[in-house]
């Protein structure tokens, strides 16, 4: 089973200078690469060479704090944790509270700060090493704007408009914000790191195009990129935190999770007899996609897909398998989350006194 990609994914490769990860000669042995979840890249091969040579590199992988984590975030953050554990990489996690406010995703900055602080606890509970992970919340680490102002001289309004498609009615803060995103992404290069990797969902690629352009103008190493394929919500449509009934959130209780899983869109046939005769349709089955992307080894995922296509495994059985995996994962996660204090979270949030960005 490979995570399917659609025309939007292929367009990113064709029109915006990305390349397929399946064509790389050397990739880590990890589920997100094997399943095709991380389907394309820019310069990952160069980043990986430097990493294996022992050069000082970092990962930057941010999040918009308009709500809590859901299962769709798991693939990218699991990959970051894999790199951190296997190679000892430092990870910087920007939580874009200011962008959430400017885009109208939250009512006020106070909400953005509260959400961001909650996400810090969630991500630590997910498995990030507090000794090698730093969180950037712009209301707290205002030094980030020093870099953003520097970068703003290198970006024109026409470039922002062409890249993001902003109309003239978009507020000026949102038009400036790509420079803040670039500051998040390139900040490690000003702190002594030699290269940066940014794993992202494909709908965030415009941030990286701006950042790579800025890096080129400043003779900095262009950040490497890994693109994660879109994963569907339980209804088979695009997963979104704006549609909470179709996303499985890490804060959900197990009863709610089971209810969502059991009504997930399936690739089963109209009747048991038809399914046994013709087999299931793997590319349509949400439970199989989640199992492949987040839980199973590639060998086990391929075996399960083959049995499903032959009608030996039912859609209801796939849902039961998925729920058991989610039950174990979320039970362990919630235990870890309960042990993380406000003091623990505060200790990993970058303060102005920690890194002074005079550039």
Q: Tens digit of pLDDT for each residue in 292-330? A: 999 999 999 999 999 999 999 999 999 999 999 999 999
Q: Which residues pair with 195 in a beta bridge?
A: 57
Say yes or no to pLDDT of 242 above 70: no
Tokens at 139, concatenated: 């209301």
Please enumerate in sequence order all residues whose Cβ is within 8 A of that of 131, keeping only pairs 6 or more positions apart, or say none: none
What's the pTM value of the predicted model, to 2 decimals?
A: 0.94
| Whether pLDDT at 88 is above 70 | yes
Is the pLDDT reported for residue 244 higher than 90?
no
pLDDT tens per residue, range 140-154: 999 999 999 999 999
Q: What confidence score (pLDDT) does residue 4 get? A: 84
Task: State how far the Cα of 27 lies from the Cα of 83, in Å rounded to an integer.
Answer: 12
User: For residue 73, is pLDDT > 70?
Assistant: yes
194-213 residue pLDDT tens: 999 999 998 899 999 999 99
Question: What is the arithmetic mean of pLDDT over 128-145?
Answer: 96
Q: How confident is the model at residue 1 (pLDDT cuts 50, 70, 90)?
A: confident
Residue 216's pLDDT is what?
97
Return the CATH number of 7-234, one of 3.80.10.10, 3.40.50.620, 3.30.465.10, 3.50.50.60. 3.40.50.620
Confidence (pLDDT) at 47 = 97
Residue 238 has pLDDT above 80, yes or no: no
Per residue in 26-38, pLDDT (tens digit) is 999 999 999 999 9
Average pLDDT over residues 28-57: 96
Once rounded to an integer, what is the mean pLDDT over residues 87-97? 96
148: its two tokens: 């953003």
Give the tokens for residue 128.
């990030």
Q: Looking at the predicted structure, is the pLDDT value of residue 240 above 80? A: no
Q: Put the strands of the sheet holding 57-60 in their side by side order.
A: 19-20, 38-42, 224-228, 195-201, 57-60, 90-95, 133-137
Delimiting residues of CATH 1.10.240.10 domain(s) in the chain: 244-337
CA distance 251 to 11: 34
Average pLDDT, the chain: 94
For position 358, what pLDDT does the model report? 60
Q: In terms of CATH, what superfamily is 244-337?
A: Tyrosyl-Transfer RNA Synthetase (1.10.240.10)
Contact indicator for 49, 256 with CB cutoff of 8 Å: no
Phi, psi of 134 (to 5 degrees): -125, 135
d(CA 40, CA 222): 16
Q: What is the pLDDT of residue 283?
A: 92
Q: Please state, in angstroms and rounded to a whole number, the distance separating the CA atoms of residues 99 and 105.
A: 8
Residue 241 has pLDDT above 80, yes or no: no
Per-residue pLDDT at 5: 84
**Residue 39: C-alpha distances to residues 204, 237, 301 (Å):** 15, 19, 17
> CATH 3.40.50.620 residue ranges in the chain?
7-234
SS (HEC) of the chain: CCCCCCHHHHHHHHHCCCEEHHHCCCCCCCHHHHCCCEEEEECHHHHHHHHHHCCCEEEECCECCCCCCEHHHHHHHHHHHHHHHHHCCEEEEEECHHHHHHCCCCCCHHHHHHHHHHHHHHHHHHCCCCCCEEEEECCCCCCHHHHHHHHHCCCCHHHHHHHHCCCCCCCHHHHHHHHHHHHHHHHHHHHCCCEEEEEEEHHHHHHHHHHHHHHHHCCCCCCEEEEECCCECCCCCECCCCCHHHCCECCCCHHHHHHHHHCCCCCCCCCHHHHHHHCCCHHHCHHHHHHHHHHCCHHHHHHHHHHHHCCCCCHHHHHHHHHHHHHHHHHHHHHHHHCCCHHHHHHCECCCCCCCCCC
Q: Taking each helix axis from N to C terminus, what angle separates 205-217 and 172-186, rounded to the nearest 10 degrees?
A: 70
Select the more confidently predicted residue: 245 or 54: 54
Instruction: Please name which of 250, 254, 248, 256 lies closest in space to residue 289, comparing C-alpha atoms.
Output: 248
- pLDDT tens digits, 98-115: 999 999 999 999 999 999
Could you read off the pLDDT of 265-296 as tens digits, one per residue? 999 988 888 999 999 999 999 999 999 999 99
Segment 260-264 shows an average pLDDT of 96
Evaluate whether 65 touches 100 at the Cβ level (below 8 Å). yes
């Amino acid at each position: 089973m490979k995570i399917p990609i659609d025309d939007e994914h292929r367009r990113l490769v064709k029109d915006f200078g990305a390349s397929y990860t399946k064509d790389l000669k050397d990739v880590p042995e990890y589920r997100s690469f094997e399943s095709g979840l991380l389907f394309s890249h820019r310069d990952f091969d160069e980043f990986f060479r430097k990493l294996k040579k022992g050069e000082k590199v970092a990962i930057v992988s941010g999040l918009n704090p308009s709500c809590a984590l859901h299962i769709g975030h798991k693939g990218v953050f699991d990959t970051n944790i894999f790199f951190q554990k296997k190679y000892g990489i430092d990870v910087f996690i920007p939580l874009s509270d200011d962008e959430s406010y400017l885009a109208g995703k939250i009512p006020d900055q106070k909400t953005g700060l509260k959400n961001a602080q909650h996400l810090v606890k969630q991500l630590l509970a997910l498995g990030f090493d507090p000794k090698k992970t730093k969180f950037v919340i712009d209301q707290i680490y205002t030094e980030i704007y020093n870099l953003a102002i520097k970068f703003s001289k290198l970006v024109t309004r026409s470039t922002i408009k062409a890249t993001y498609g902003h109309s003239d009615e978009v507020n000026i803060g949102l038009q400036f914000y790509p420079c803040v995103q670039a500051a998040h992404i390139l900040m490690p290069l000003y702190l002594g790191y030699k290269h940066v990797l940014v794993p992202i969902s494909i709908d965030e690629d415009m941030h990286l195009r701006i950042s790579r352009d800025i890096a080129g103008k400043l003779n900095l190493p262009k950040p490497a990129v890994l693109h994660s394929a879109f994963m569907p919500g339980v209804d088979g449509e695009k997963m979104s935190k704006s549609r909470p009934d179709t996303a499985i959130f890490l804060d959900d209780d197990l009863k709610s999770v089971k209810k969502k899983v059991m009504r997930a869109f399936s690739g089963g046939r109209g009747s048991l007899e038809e399914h046994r005769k013709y087999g299931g349709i793997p590319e349509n089955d949400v439970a199989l996609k989640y199992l492949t992307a987040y839980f199973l080894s590639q060998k086990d995922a391929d075996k399960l897909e083959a049995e499903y296509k032959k009608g030996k495994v039912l859609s209801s059985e796939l849902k039961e398998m998925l729920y058991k995996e989610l039950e174990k994962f979320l039970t362990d996660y919630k235990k870890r989350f309960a042990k993380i204090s406000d003091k623990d979270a505060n200790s990993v949030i970058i303060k102005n006194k920690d890194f002074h960005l005079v550039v």
